[in-house]
Structure 1
Amino acid sequence: MLSAALKAAVQTVSRPFRAVLLKSLGLTVLLLILGWIGLQALADRMLVLPNETATWIAHLVAGLGTAFGLLFLVTPVTAIVAGFFLDDVAEIVERTHYPADAPGQPVPLVKGLFLSLRFAALVLSLNLLLLALLFIPGVNLIAWLGVNGYLLGREYFSLAAMRFRDEDGATALRRRHRGEVFAAGLLVATLAIVPFANLLTPLFATAFFVHLHKSIAAEDAKLLGTEGRTPRLGA
């Protein structure tokens, strides 16, 4: 897993990734700005107080709360962005590191975006529920990392695996290696809470899980005695 993470980190800032990196950063920043504007507009509509000073203080507190609220938008936003650039990133990784292997088949754009939007809605809902733990220091961070680590691992691994197998096959493979996938998801979730570095999350996580899927698929083939066979979509 660490080898896959190091390869992904190096590739994220490499020349072949440059065009995808700029597009990914641009879309991530745009979606976060739109999210911030939406949260701010909602706060402005709700904070109508009779006293001007109280209104000013309330808006100041709301502004700080909105900035904090962006933390809860980072994970679903990265899922949406990954849906756009998954195949571009995966093709570069496969061509660079696994030229002898059969290339994966692109996930249809509509299906990929549908899965990413569905995942984003799930993540946003669960993170809103986690707000109940906001004032319990330590517990809130552990709960946030645990939930998002599981969800990110599941989402990114499934997207990478579905280039080589159908959705049921990807799910079965993920479940057989759930511990490793969860640990990888925790790593991505940790990156998602680091300011500025979290803007690279969609690109890094996609490359990371492409490498991880390759490693897990090879390990799984040895365990099942199917080493040397090329996985097929729908099989």
Structure 2
Amino acid sequence: MIGLAASRALRDLFSPPFRAAFWKSLGLTALVLVGLWFAVEALFERVAAPWAAGWLPALPAWASDAERAAGWLAGLLLAIALAFLIGPVSAAIAGLFLDDVAEVVERECYPEAPPGRELPLAASLRLSAKFLGVIVLGNLLAFALLLVPVVNLVAFFAVNSYLLGREYFEFAAMRYRTEHDAKALRRRHRGTVLAGGAVVACFLAVPVVNLLTPLVAAALMVNLHQLVSRREGGLPAPPVERRIAAAGPRSD
């Protein structure tokens, strides 16, 4: 099941809709990071530099060189910080386009199934924030354990397999189910979801390729949700349709 879901996700990754979602998310990520660069640079020039100027003249003659070196060092640290933020920021922004990805997978691979429903804007924003938190946590964990061989690798894959599998599977399931039902389905198939999360974690571990992580994760988990639902007897009607059905036919 994992192999089938992964192969379908990789196949869809090169389709025009996926490329469009990738370039949109990457473009917005670049705009955010460039804006952040200028904002931090302005903060350094208007706050940090004037503050330092108050005590630098009291230093020896090399103070001006030290100030210049500090500026270069600040720029280097900022560049490293922005490189670290590429993955998390792209994950958060790509979260806004995941419904587009899910719709393509459902339409192309499962035409016989009822179409899912886009998440409300508030839920979509909340999921994007959660995706951001998941990626940040995984990267911080890897950084904290950088000097501990083997342990850092095991911890990185264990944590990210669980978190990525959980969040993206529940996203796919919530296109057809309530949040409570999506969580219950994920718990019933926790081993399968964890294995799917491990595949996603492999993408997260590769620089540059990790920019594709949100799209790969969404496509893989949409496929996995469809396959798991088939095993359980089929997909339910999306939540909106279930509420309409429960209300019964209207009487004039």
Whole-Å Cα distance in 2 between the matches of residues 36 and 70 of structure 1?
11
Q: Unaligned regions of 5+ residues in structure 1, if any?
A: 222-226
Q: What is the aligned partner in structure 2 of residue 21 from structure 1?
A: 22
**Partner residue of 2:207 out of 195, 203, 211:** 195
Distance 1:120 1:228, change over 3 A: closer
CA shift, 1:228, in A, is: 4.4
The change in CA–CA distance for 1:88 and 1:164 in structure 2 (over 3 A counts) is: same
CA distance in 1, matches of 2:124, 2:133: 14
What residue in structure 2 maps to residue 147 of structure 1? 159
1:9 and 2:10 matched: yes
Contact between 1:165 and 1:232, CA under 8 Å: does it hold in 2? yes
Aligned-partner Cα distance in 1 for 2:81–2:156: 14
Kept after mapping to 2: 8 A contact 1:82/1:202:
yes
Which moves more between the two structures, 159-168 or 49-58?
A: 49-58
1:63 aligned to 70, 73, 76, which one?
76
- Going from structure 1 to structure 2, the CA distance change for 1:9 and 1:126 (only over 3 Å counts) comes to closer
TM-score computed with the length of structure 2 as normaliser: 0.74
1:112-191, aligned counterparts within 5 Å?
A: 112-121=124-133, 123-125=135-137, 127-128=139-140, 131-191=143-203
Assess if the C-alpha contact under 8 Å between 1:81 and 1:202 holds in 2.
no
Q: Tell me the residue number matched to 1:211.
A: 223
Deviates more, 1:197-206 or 1:97-106: 197-206
Partner of 2:239: 233
What are the superposed Cα offsets for residues 42-90 of structure 1, whole Å, 9 maximum, x if unpaired? 99959x796646973895598379537744662x335413421111111
Aligned runs of 1:88-127 on 2, under 5 Å?
88-121=100-133, 123-125=135-137, 127=139
Residues 232 and 17 of structure 1: CA distance in aligned 2, closer, same or farther (over 3 Å)? closer
Q: Give the 3 Å change call, closer, same or farther, for CA 42–149 of structure 1 in structure 2.
A: farther
**Is the CA contact 1:8–1:208 (under 8 Å) kept in the aligned structure 2?**
yes
Deviation at 1:16, TM superposition (A): 3.7
- Alpha carbons of structure 1 residues 198 and 128: separation in structure 2 relative to 1, 3 Å: closer
Q: How far apart, in 2, do the equivalents of 1:195 and 1:126 lie?
A: 14
1:39 positional shift: 8.0
Distance 1:214 1:199, change over 3 A: same
Query: Would the alpha carbon gap of residues 32 and 140 (structure 1) be closer, same or farther in structure 2, given more than 3 Å must change?
Result: farther
Aligned equivalents of 2:30, 2:85: Cα separation in 1: 14
Residue type of the alignment partner of 1:63: L
TM-score (norm 1): 0.78
Confirm or deny: 8 A CA contact 2:22 2:94 kept in the other structure: no
Distance (Å, rounded) in 2 between the aligned partners of 1:124 and 1:165: 28
Counterpart-to-counterpart distance in 1, 2:42 and 2:198: 32
Identity %: 45
Q: Computing the radius of gyration over CA atoms, which structure comes out larger, 1 or 2?
A: 2
How far off is 1:139 after superposition?
A: 1.4
Offset, 1:116: 2.1
Does the 8 Å CA contact 1:17/1:89 hold for their aligned counterparts? yes
> Which structure 2 residue ranges, 5 or more long, are not aligned?
243-252
For 1:191, the aligned partner's letter is: F
The letter for the 1-side match of 2:182 is A
